[in-house]
Amino acid sequence: MATFFGEVVTPPCRAGLDDEEELAEEREETQEDREIRLALEKKSWELIGSAQLWNEWCRTSKVTNLPKDSYCCFYRSVSDPTILLCQCNCYVAEDQQFQWLEKVFGCLQQIDMQVLVLSACPVTDYKTTESTLTLPSPFLKALKTREFKDKVYCSLLEQPNIIRDLPAAVLSYCQVWQIPAIFYQCYTDILQLDLVTIETFKPVLSSKILKRYFKKHRNTDKISDT
């Protein structure tokens, strides 16, 4: 199936994944999970909802007993309730994406809305005439909707590169409904996110979408430290 951005979506293959799933069950908390957990424990965000998703990538056949990584959690900034955060730990299957988008965006007021999507993938997914070994990994690429007019903090994703899965579906939805949206993809040469990879997103913190939140958040931290 071709999406709005020309993505050809292929269903994931389950063959040979049993060993990887067993390792995934035993994995420890990643640096990314730890950074997000510490930020949430500062009580600058409040949990306002969650979505459970079951598909063939879930490691259980019991819908009533889903693992933690089958949830999408939604948080609201305490200092600025107009800022919402979605942490999606699960794979959203192709046949679930439309329903997911309709439910999430259907609950939001789309006037003056802006959408920012952050994700990471292996640098080997990046298509270039150069060897991926020579690329300065990690690095950022961006893709935006036509209505997004703010500053872009890295170069745009070049053809024939594409984006996949839920980020592609979100950008397609925003493009159709004329919602300003931008997607930042971090290409990295490690299997799990670490501080170096997370630092790659640092320029994005200066964006119009996040600048207001981080200004208030820094002021809150200064008050709590005194």
Q: Which CATH architecture has domain 114-217?
A: 3-Layer(aba) Sandwich (3.40)
Over residues 82-121, the pLDDT tens digits come to: 888 888 877 788 888 888 898 888 888 778 899 999 999 8
Pairing of β 115-122 and β 181-188: parallel
What's the pTM? 0.71
Evaluate whether 35 touches 54 at the Cβ level (below 8 Å).
Answer: no
Residue range 48-76, pLDDT digits in tens: 887 776 655 555 444 444 445 557 888 88
b/e per residue, 168-200, with b = 16+ CB within 10 A?
bbbbbbbbeeebbbbbbbbbbeeeebeeebbeb
In the chain, where the domains are located = 42-59+66-112, 114-217
- Say if CB 113 and CB 87 are below 8 A apart: no
